[in-house]
Each structure stands twice: as structure tokens, then as C-alpha cells.
Chains A and B, each alone.
Chain A
Amino acid sequence: MSQHAEIVVIGAGPGGYPAAFAAADHGKKVVLVNEEKEPGGVCLQRGCIPSKALLHVAKLIHEAADAAEHGLTFGKPKIDLDKLRAFKNGVIGQLTGGINGLCKARGVTLVNARATFASSNTLNLAKADGTTEQMTFDKAILASGSSPAMPPMFAIGDPRVMDSTGALALEDIPKKLLVIGGGYIGLEMGCVYAALGSEVTVVEALPVILAAADRDLVRPLQKRLETQFKAIHVNTKVLSLTATKAGIVVEMQGEGLEPKQTFDRVLVSVGRKPNSRNLGLENTKVQVDEKGFVKIDRCCRTADPNILAIGDVAGEPMLAHKATREAKVAIEALVGEPAEFDNIAIPAVVFTDPELAWCGLTETEAKAQERDVKVIRFAWAASGRAQSLGRTEGLTKLIVENKTERILGVGIVGVGAGELISEGVLAVETAAVARDLADSIHPHPTLSETLMEAAEAFIGQATHMYRPAR
């Protein structure tokens, strides 16, 4: 049996399903092909969403413990792992059901199959039941996503060595957990396991954790993580993993650490790689760069006139919200609207506790580009809301261009930074100036006031921060 789609979308993650929906909303006949039975992609099935469900629980544990200082003492938390897993899976189920429902409502045909390109207008669809079908298409949107990188030296074939998928499956709570890689995935999962009771050690080969973020924003986070984790070792390399009955024996090289340690589980979170292989792209004109990313232009078009690509497979940063924006750009460009991925601010959020978020230009980038900017730091100790939450370690930072007073970058560390950064995104994306932020009324008492006050401090003095004239 052969079928034809006006638009076929490959992959039903946060790039693929919004693309399918947008295409359907433009009146196209859309087929959404997904290799897994349920839609949602890594983000929903084993990424953003389940990790946030677990991090929410982790935060509750910490807050309950911290409450003792404010006169509220709870007993030691009892953790019912099955129930916790069920909560996480319930969240996934809810959202999966939502996507299925929206597909139906929009008339998007969801096909459960692995798609490979036979040519620039034909897909082979290998279904779960072993049958294969062919589908022709006018245009294809490739949104095949990415997978956790697992360097061969770590792939020792033992289930106790996990990637992020394994860590989110939450098989058990290991007594001792080693996290290889101090990026956002490693730190977020480390937070979850530490809160559940694991003794967590993080090793990072680079001299710093969260290398892309400004140091002053990482510092308060790192300080708190150091109290939750057993240790964070930077400049440290893992030389070998060996499975023994007692656990995974890890040989490491770095300063001030026991070079040979045994862990109950090891989480490998050293990055992700695009899913561009085994897709039959060689049968199309699509070009792939040396890192495996499909090359696209600002309208998400590949070198093949029939194929567009969005999301992780189409380049850094590999973030769900970038994929979703690209989905809209790709479809709008396809139907002839003047869309282009010209975004200036792609927010990055680390959902640890405290959260760390930034968008636009970082201070490090501003320095490297020799931009004439002023950096304003507003410490949360001056925020009434932060005080009332008992969380004053936060910091709100603006990178403002001196000449134009334009806000080029925003960085926030603190409780709820992931939510607060959106205002920064709006400011940077719309070329707002400091005065715009300072003169907009922010509700009191909220943490968002720190953005307003930082902008006030750029213009002159902030109400709650006084810096003597120099």
C-alpha cells in the first residue's frame, strides 16, 4: 500500500508535533511519523518533562528540610519510589494524551513507524509489526532529535551505567552515584538523586561546571550544590569503568580525589548527538556537517528542496524551545510567509535549585566581542520577596549597551529563574532599553522586581540598592 502526504513530519518531539500542527493549521494534509508508540519525543518521554516532575519532588524535600529554620519541622521524608515513578509517568501520560488529542482535532495522521528516506520524495516506513510501507510526500520536515552521547569507553554493557534515559527511569535509589559531566543534565539529575538520598559525586573534565554560563551566576548554585553533593570534581577525567559485583569501579584522574572509587550507579551525561544517521539521508540532497547536524538555512531549508529540518538534528543549541520556534519558521516559510529564524535571545535554563537562566549576550561573550557594555548585578538580598522565601543567594544581572542603553543580555540565578528569564527574553528580543524595564510597574512583592531594579541601577540608583557615586 502506498500513500501520499502533502507534508510529512518525521519525529513527534517538541519540534515535530508543533510543525505538524502548524502545517495542519495552514490547511495542509499532514502525516506525523514517530518511531516510538507515543508522541512527545525525548522532551516529553525522557527529558524536560519527567526530569521536572522529579525535580519538583526534590525541591519539596529540600524546602521541607529548610523549613526547620523557620520554625516548621517535618519528619524525615518517606520515599515511595513506585508512587514517585507513577507520578512522573502520570505526567507523561497526561501530556502524551494531550498531543494525541490535538492530532485528532487537527486531522493530523499519526503513524507509528521508523521513517527512512528512499529518495527526495519517498519515505520507507518500517512499522512495529515488521511490515514496511512506502509514502511519497511533497515536503518533509525532519525533526528526528538527538540522543545521549555514550562514549565507547563508558559503554561497558552494564545497566548500572546509565544515560539520562536510564536515570529518569528511576530503577532504584543508589547509595553512591557518580555523575560524569557537569552540564545541565548531570546537575539536574544529580539534584534529584541527592534529594532522594543518594550520595552524589560529579566529575567534570573542564575546569568549571556549566561552562557556557557566566561564573558569577554559577557561583551561588555551585555553593548550594556542594552542600547537597558529596563532591564536585572539576579538571577530572574518568579513565575507566569496570563492572564488579560490589558496584562500578571507576578510575579517575584529577586533583584531590581518591583515584579509584566504587559507585552503585554511574550516570554518563557528557552531551547529546544529533540523530542524523540511518535515516537514508544519503538518498537525498540533504547535507550533514562534521558534527552530524543537518545543514539548514534561516528558513530551516536543507540543501534538498523538498526537505526541511528543525530541532536538535538541525544544530545547536539542542533545546526544545528552539525546536518549537523552528517548527513555526519552517512551516510559515513553506507556505510563503516572511518567517525566518532570526531570534536574538534563545533562553537557557538549568532547573537545579536554585535555577540558573540566561538569554542574549553573556558577560563573557560581551567581553570577547569587546562590546561597550555596563554589567549591572542586583543581589537578591535586597529583594523583599527573596527574603520572605528565605532564599537570598540569587542574583539578577543585566548586560546593557552603554551607547544605546539597550538590554543585550540577562542572567538570573535564584529560585524561579527559569520563569523570570522570559521577561529578559522579551526585553532582548524586542531591543528594549533599560528605561523600558525600569519604568514598567512590576508587581510587589515579587522576584521580577529584581529586573526592574537592576535596570534602575543602570540609569541611576535602584530603590533598594545604593551605590555611592565614584
Chain B
Amino acid sequence: MAIEFKLPEVSDGVKTVDIAEIKVKPGDVITAGQAVMDLETEKAVVELECPHAGTVAKVHVTAGQTVAIGAPLLSIEAGATSAAPTAAPPSTAPAKAAVAIPVAQPVVAPKVAAPTAAPSTQSAAPDTRPPAPAGPATRRLARDLGVDLHQVTGTGPGGRITQEDVQSYVKNILEGRASAPTGGAIATPPLPDFSQFGPVERQAQGKIAKVSATNLSMAWQTIPHVTQHDLIDITDLEEARKRFGESLGKNGPKVTMTAIVMKALVPVLKAFPHVNASLDAAKGELVLKRYYHFGCAVDTPNGLLVPVVKNVDQKSIVQIATDLADLAARAREKKLKPDEMSGATFTVTNLGGIGGTGFTPIVNWPEVAILGLSRGRTELKLHGGAVTERLMLPLSLSYDHRVINGADGARFVVKLGQLLSDFFTLLAEV
């Protein structure tokens, strides 16, 4: 008897996945728990384990295909030796992806009205919503004005949307009477035909890029951002870091500034617990987190990913550095598991390797603050009465002004700066 192996829930809120790679073919004998395919979710490539053992009779999907949760993936003939006629799964574990997902889903945004995306023949997600109840002329008007008809309340019989409904919807938004669709604003108006100005090429956005775009615009539109900048003297710290790195030898872990800053953030966040928090605006409550998981933005060929170093407070700087190196490498290979990209309480983004004197990072919702590091630069300073060359690290802390007031934002950065410039204090506090 053949078992249908269907696509299990891979992650909260994920309704479809792309099949990245199929590792089995008809005729293959597989064991329970064997990885049978790689799935590309909105966040990363996930290995999918099949809980059934037997012979693959049929593969129902092809690489590159987008499939919904519950869609059949494989038909598996129970092994000939299987005594159980009903081919019960060998373990009690339900079919599951190789990873379990914690409840919190920091990178998944709430429903944001998708702006009318520029058409793309590639993987443009098909609109599965039933058509909005409006005649062709009304639909055309809506397209012209960039209105998502599903956001418009129809006043006609059966909720039919009239041209007047579309006009008053736009009017209300312009006059600020109606709030724009949840988290979003008015849908982006249609693009002009750029080919009239010169040759253009259309490139489909990858899933990661699309999700980042949605999340970033949601965060930008809902969070009142303030960025606090400072320059921290890390001359001594950097010297010590180099010395320590040499002592570890060539094959030792690379202790990066990011790892040290992460460690230094723990006592600062303990001193300012509302920065290690989330805002539940609906309930008017602050969710203070008693754990210290830090996201670290990684630039990958597929787009921006934010893997998370867990329990930073319980790890040594060397351990953090090792974790960071491992996570970053796997992020670039698309090998991160979803639970390695969720649960962050605070995020660090280091552009120092590239350059720049400062920037304003966007808070990684539902966190309330993010720390940006730029390239350290040498400056002449009065130090002990003499003009000396000092290495200065630019810090940029963007925060949610609804949660953190300006004075606390400044205090936070000052305290972090003290820990980094006089690292005995760091030793004393950790």
C-alpha cells in the first residue's frame, strides 16, 4: 500500500514553499527520517525529512515548483518486509520538517497589503483571492489609481464596489480619514514604461528579497525610528583583540568586533530591559524578554538574512565568535534552518568590513532596537595630555521611539561605549 507523503507545516505562517532540490527518485529505498528534499521557504533552505520508510513509487513535484502545505510530495510503497499492513509511520513523530519553529516569528511580518507588484513572468505569487466584486470599468479605475480593490468596501448590492466607492476610498486616504491597509500604505502606483527611456531588463525578485522588502517597509512605516550616533574609542580593545587572536593561532576562531559587541550588549540590555523587548501596541503592553538572543545581519548572494546567536549571556566571546562564523557561512550556503533565524531580541549589523561613517539601520520588528557598526577610523585625540592616534568605532543605534525615549537611547549608547573603550568595566559587569 502506498503512503502519500504530503508537505507538512514547515514553519508558522508559511503557506507555500519552493522545492529547491529533490534528493530521491522513483525506485529509491528510503529510511524513516531520511532527508528527501530541500525546501526553500521565505527564509532559507530547509531539509525535509520523510518519516516513512519504503520505496519511492512516485515523485509528485519537480524542483523549482511552488507547493502548498498539504500537497502530495511522494508516494511511498511500504517496504516488502513491512509487517504492518497499514504501513504505520515507524515512529510516533508526526511528519515534520527537520526543524521545529518557536512560536515567535520575528522576520515574518503581519499581513501587509501587497502593492500591485510589477508583473513578472517568473514566480510572481498568484493572487489566490477570489476576484473583488467590481465591474471591469471599476477594476480599471482601481488599477489606474493603484488601489487594491480588496481593501475597498463596496456599497452596492452584495458588496459590489462601484467607481464611486473607489473614488471615496482614495479621497478618504488622502484626507487621512481612513487608515491605509494594515501595515502598508496606498499600493504603489503602476510603473511607467521605462523602455521608452532606454533598454531595461526585468528580473524576478527572489523569495528572500520579497519577504525582506515586505518586512522592511512594514517596520519603516509602523515604527517611529530615531538613530543615535556615537564614536567609541576602541584603541585598547582592538589591540587586545589582535593580541588574543594571534595567541589563538591561525586555526583558532576569529574573534570579531561583532562578537565582542554582542557580549558587551548583554549588561547594557540588562540595565535597559525595555530595549530587550517587544511592543504589544494592541494591548498597550511591553513584552520584556529574559533571554538574550541576538540577530546578526548577513549579506548573502540571495539577499539579507538575519541568523540568531542564542543565549549570548551564557556564552563566552570565543563561543559567540564561533557561532557567528558558523551561522554566517551557512547563511551564504542557504543552509540555515528556520529556528536559527527566529527568536532574536536585538540585532547587530556590522558594515565595518565595507566602509562608511554611519548609517540608520531599520529596526528588525518585533524587536525595538538595532545596533549598526561602521568602519573604525583613526583620529587624533588628546590622550593623557598628548595628541595620539586613536581608533574610533562609529555606533548607530536605531530604536523604536514609542518604547525608548531619546535620553535612554543616548544613555544606552554611552554605556555600551564605556564598556568597549574601557574593557575592564566589561570584565567587571559580565
Decide yes or no whether B192 CB sits under 8 A from chain A: yes
Given A336-B192, A338-B190, also A406-B121 (CB < 8 A) = no
A303 touches B202 (CB 8 A): yes
Decide yes or no whether B315 CB sits under 8 A from chain A: no
Q: What range describes how many residues of A lie at the interface?
A: 20 to 34
The smallest beta-carbon distance between A297 and chain B, in angstroms, is: 3
Decide yes or no whether B195 CB sits under 8 A from chain A: yes
Interface string of B181-206 (1 = CB under 8 A from A): 00000000010110100011110000
Residue of A nearest to B116 (CB): A340
Q: Find residues 275-298 in chain A having any chain B CB closer than 8 Å to their own CB.
A: 287, 295-298
Q: How far is B122's CA from A296's CA once the two chains are assembled, in angstroms?
A: 9
Question: Which stretch from A316-324, A430-438, A461-469 is at the chain B interface?
Answer: A430-438
Decide yes or no whether B124 CB sits under 8 A from chain A: yes
Decide yes or no whether B311 CB sits under 8 A from chain A: no
B158 touches A301 (CB 8 A): no
Q: What chain B residues lie within 8 Å of A344 (beta carbons)?
A: 131
Q: How far is B173's CA from A138's CA once the two chains are assembled, in angstroms?
A: 39
The smallest beta-carbon distance between B154 and chain A, in angstroms, is: 8
Q: How far is B141's CA from A302's CA once the two chains are assembled, in angstroms?
A: 24
Q: What chain B residues lie within 8 Å of A338 (beta carbons)?
A: 140-141, 143-144, 190
The smallest beta-carbon distance between A350 and chain B, in angstroms, is: 25
Interface centre among A287, A334, A340 (most CB of B within 10 A): A340
Q: What chain B residues lie within 8 Å of A430 (beta carbons)?
A: 135-136, 160
Q: How far is B36's CA from A208's CA once the two chains are assembled, in angstroms?
A: 38
Residue of B nearest to A343 (CB): B136
Q: How far is B267's CA from A67's CA once the two chains are assembled, in angstroms?
A: 99
Q: How far is B200's CA from A298's CA once the two chains are assembled, in angstroms?
A: 19
Q: What chain A residues lie within 8 Å of B119 (beta carbons)?
A: 297-299, 301
A406 touches B133 (CB 8 A): yes
Q: How far is B195's CA from A334's CA once the two chains are assembled, in angstroms?
A: 10
Residue in A297, A336, A433 whose beta carbon sits within 8 Å of that of B121 in the complex: A297
The smallest beta-carbon distance between A318 and chain B, in angstroms, is: 19
Q: What chain B residues lie within 8 Å of A303 (beta carbons)?
A: 121-122, 202
A336 touches B158 (CB 8 A): no
A302 touches B121 (CB 8 A): yes
The smallest beta-carbon distance between A163 and chain B, in angstroms, is: 31
B202 touches A431 (CB 8 A): no
A405 touches B121 (CB 8 A): no
Residue in A301, A305, A343 whose beta carbon sits within 8 Å of that of B201 in the complex: A305
Decide yes or no whether A255 CB sits under 8 A from chain B: no
Residue of A nearest to B202 (CB): A305
Q: Find residues 123-164 in chain B having any chain A CB closer than 8 Å to their own CB.
A: 124, 131, 133-136, 139-141, 143-144, 156-161
Q: How far is B193's CA from A339's CA once the two chains are assembled, in angstroms?
A: 13
B122 touches A339 (CB 8 A): no
Q: How far is B135's CA from A342's CA once the two chains are assembled, in angstroms?
A: 10
Q: Find residues 279-305 in chain B having any chain A CB closer than 8 Å to their own CB.
A: none
Decide yes or no whether B120 CB sits under 8 A from chain A: yes
Q: Find residues 80-133 in chain B having any chain A CB closer than 8 Å to their own CB.
A: 119-122, 124, 131, 133
Decide yes or no whether A429 CB sits under 8 A from chain B: yes
Chain A residues close to B by CB (< 8 Å):
287, 295-299, 301-303, 305-306, 334, 336, 338-340, 342-344, 401, 404-406, 429-433, 435-436
Q: List 27 A-B contacts (CB under 8 A).
A: A295-B121, A296-B121, A297-B119, A297-B120, A298-B119, A299-B119, A303-B121, A303-B122, A305-B195, A305-B202, A336-B192, A336-B193, A338-B140, A338-B143, A338-B144, A338-B190, A339-B140, A340-B139, A405-B157, A406-B159, A429-B135, A429-B136, A430-B136, A430-B160, A431-B160, A432-B160, A435-B157
